[in-house]
Amino acid sequence: MSEPTNETNGTDLDHELRVSKIHNGTVIDHVRSGQALNVLAILGIDGSEGEEVSIGMNVPSDRHAKKDIVKVEGRELSADEVDVLSLIAPEATINIVREYNVVEKNRVERPELVEDVLSCPNESCITSANEPVTSRFEVLEDAIRCAYCGTIIREDIASLIDA
């Protein structure tokens, strides 16, 4: 049996460095394939403010066949942002990086309720009227449900995020 050649190692390294490491900030890892752009939408990031962001889509993962990954330099996430992330990326891990090291790693947790961050798409819902009512969604296994009108939403949850 021969030792792995440098060439093989070089190839492995290239795979690992597909999205480069960050200095200080947050790595949202193990995001469900195809959800990276929705993660950016939830974080309100569109690049217009000069944020330093790297994303990988459909990159190889050992945990699942493929994953997305989002790395944001100089930013930590709020509890509300993590709650909404959990709805579209239930297996995600949130890694806080300081001076190139992962100093904290948390799995997202699905909250029972998401309040005041999403808008109900039902135009006749009381929360759509000009009333002082705080939006509230119950989190189900594979969907969310408006606590006021019962509308169930399974897809495109990111598009309901309050601007």
Residues that bind Zn ion (CB under 5 A): 120, 122, 125, 146, 148-149, 151
Query: Residue 51 CB, nearest distance to ligand CTP (Å)?
Result: 15
Binding of ligand CTP by 95 (CB under 6 A): yes
Backbone angles phi, psi at 85, to 5 degrees: -55, -40
Given ligand CTP, Zn ion, none, residue 119, with its beta carbon under 5 to 8 Å by kind, binds: none
Name the residue among 8, 16, 85 with its Cα closest to residue 56.
16
Nearer to ligand CTP, 27 or 117 (CB): 27
Name the residue with tokens 């009381």: 126
Binding of ligand CTP by 27 (CB under 6 A): yes
* Interface with ligand CTP: number of residues (CB under 6 A): 12
Q: What is the CA radius of gyration of the chain?
A: 19
Query: Residue 154 CB, nearest distance to Zn ion (Å)?
Result: 15
Say how far apart CA 64 and CA 93 lie, in whole Å: 13
Say how far apart CA 149 and CA 138 lie, in whole Å: 11
